[in-house]
Structure 1
Amino acid sequence: MSAPALIPTLVVDDDREVAGIHTGFLLAHGAFDVVGAAHTGARALELAEALRPRLVLLDIHLPDMTGIDVLRTLRNRPGEPLDVIAITAARELDTVRAAVAGGVLHYLVKPFSAAVLGQRLDSYVAYRRELDTHAADGSAALDQGRIDQLLRTTAGSGAGGAGAPSGTATIVTPKGLSAPTLEAVMLDLRGHGRGTSASDVAERLGMARVSARRYLEFLVSRGQARIVPQYGSAGRPEKFYVWTDGASRG
């Protein structure tokens, strides 16, 4: 059996040195072919049109336009949709929400470790292989089970990709949890060091309280958050969630 085709990838970052680091990491991974690098939004759109990559690693802070503008333009262009992973220092809630609404598969906040980037790339490779497998089956429509499997793989349930760094772990999310929303909840939780309630997370992210609680409880189950009871004037404790950054393995 022939080896899977490399995934053509465009790297977009205003910092040439950072773009070079990301390029080197992608090439070292073994599943990606970096077809171009852009340092402005306009150049990113030009290269995306000319090179037709499958994946874009997109910075949000660009000198001529925001990465959100680039994302929206890419989403509105004709032809096969491409996948986007946001890699940025932008932590503003509105930016995260716009990126999630624009369909980014992952939202990574700088600085992050090589292991974290490796996890996201591994899950993306597994996602692409699932798509290619379904396309090879020749069926235009997917049943609910296959759709659920694709969503789980996007969230990181796939096996590690070729050339992945040792010691990386994939994130397995239950049905009904999306990777971009999970990362938005994680980002919000990290921004409130003293803790926050599910109601407050829901209000800030524009989601239902029950949904916010599911994501927070998932983080607790992975050791990335802990629960601290907060007692109000009536004496009834309310769950506050505090970020711990102690991700479990496996």
Structure 2
Amino acid sequence: MNGTRIRTLLVDDDPAVLRLHSAYLRDVEGFELVAAVRTGTDGARLAADTSIDLVLLDMNLPDFSGIEVLHRLRLVREWGVDVMVISSARDGFTVRQALAAHVVGYLVKPFTKEAFVARLTEYRAERGMRPAETPIGLAQGEIDRLVEPRAAPAVPSTPIALPKGLADSTLQTILAALHPTTPATVQAIADASGASRATVRRYLGYLADTGQAAVSHRFGARGRPEVLYRRVA
């Protein structure tokens, strides 16, 4: 890939940010700006083009989230396009989902031009060292999480302390709302548990991190990917 310009797509809802980052990108050696768009719909459509190498993606878009753009790209192009998140979103739920989709970087706004140039320069160097046509593999831990265990995990003899801000009673309520074979959306789990969507997301993030909940995706009625959760038996 050395000597080849990295064809880049910018996706951000703020026109001022698009202009600024477009100017930044022009000063980074080895990159070519193909387009700058403001919606997830346009971002997903253009990034599905196999000529795009890298998407610089905001998480907060007017029609649907950057996470949904990521899911669409992985379904259409699998690992054929790199995505770097450039966003002010820093909540654990969003960051975990982005990392699960194998983004090549996550740069939190606001940042300086120097930070932008440094991150893209590092990415270009790493990209240049990749063997051609080699897909990004899953780490062992990710593979282990995808494979259903044959035996139930051992129950610890002493209770595990929950992270600060989580209550065992709420955790048990949300666990009870999860089905072991039928995945459900955050909204459905919130309705079943009586907790708010924000609370449910926080607890589901903990349950997914600890292997007590499995995460999957499906397309909704309007073609938007939905995140689904089920209890790991």
TM-score (norm 2): 0.56
Note the 1:84-233 alignment, pairs <5 A: 84-131=83-130, 134-135=131-132, 200=163
Cα 1:4/1:200, change in 2 over 3 Å: farther
Q: Number of aligned residue pairs: give it.
A: 148
Shift of 1:102: 1.1
Shift of 1:59: 0.3
Task: State the one-letter code of the partner of 2:92.
Answer: L
Instruction: Name the CA distance, whole Å, in 2 between partners of 1:101 and 1:80.
Output: 13
Partner of 1:12: 11
Cα 1:32/1:141, change in 2 over 3 Å: closer
Q: What's the C-alpha RMSD, in Å, of the aligned pairs?
A: 3.1
Partner of 1:72: 71
Q: Secondary structure at the match of 2:132?
A: helix
Task: State the one-letter code of the partner of 2:132.
Answer: A
Shift of 1:26: 1.1
Instruction: Name the CA distance, whole Å, in 1 between partners of 2:10 and 2:120.
Output: 13
Task: State the one-letter code of the partner of 2:112.
Answer: S
More helix by share: 1
Gap runs ≥5 in structure 1: 152-175, 177-198, 209-250
Cα 1:135/1:49, change in 2 over 3 Å: closer
Instruction: Name the CA distance, whole Å, in 2 between partners of 1:20 and 1:55.
Output: 18
Instruction: Name the CA distance, whole Å, in 2 between partners of 1:84 and 1:94.
Output: 18
Instruction: Name the CA distance, whole Å, in 2 between partners of 1:54 and 1:97.
Output: 23
Task: State the one-letter code of the partner of 2:71.
Answer: R
Q: Secondary structure at the match of 1:57?
A: strand
Aligned 8 A contact 2:5 2:32 in 1: yes
Shift of 1:123: 1.3
Instruction: Name the CA distance, whole Å, in 2 between partners of 1:121 and 1:54.
Output: 13
Shift of 1:80: 5.7
Gap runs ≥5 in structure 2: 141-161, 165-202, 211-233
Shift of 1:141: 10
Cα 1:79/1:207, change in 2 over 3 Å: closer
Q: Does 1:34 align with 2:36?
A: no
Runs of 4+ residues deviating >6 angstroms:
203-206
| Deviations, residues 44-79 of structure 1 (Å, cap 9, x unaligned) | 112113463110000000000000000110011146
Task: State the one-letter code of the partner of 1:135.
Answer: A
Q: Secondary structure at the match of 1:37?
A: strand
Instruction: Name the CA distance, whole Å, in 1 between partners of 2:102 and 2:77.
Output: 16
Instruction: Name the CA distance, whole Å, in 2 between partners of 1:130 and 1:120.
Output: 16
Q: Please identify the structure whose Cα radius of gyration is greater.
A: 2
Cα 1:141/1:38, change in 2 over 3 Å: closer
Q: Secondary structure at the match of 1:111?
A: coil
Shift of 1:43: 0.6
Task: State the one-letter code of the partner of 2:31.
Answer: F
Aligned 8 A contact 2:25 2:117 in 1: no
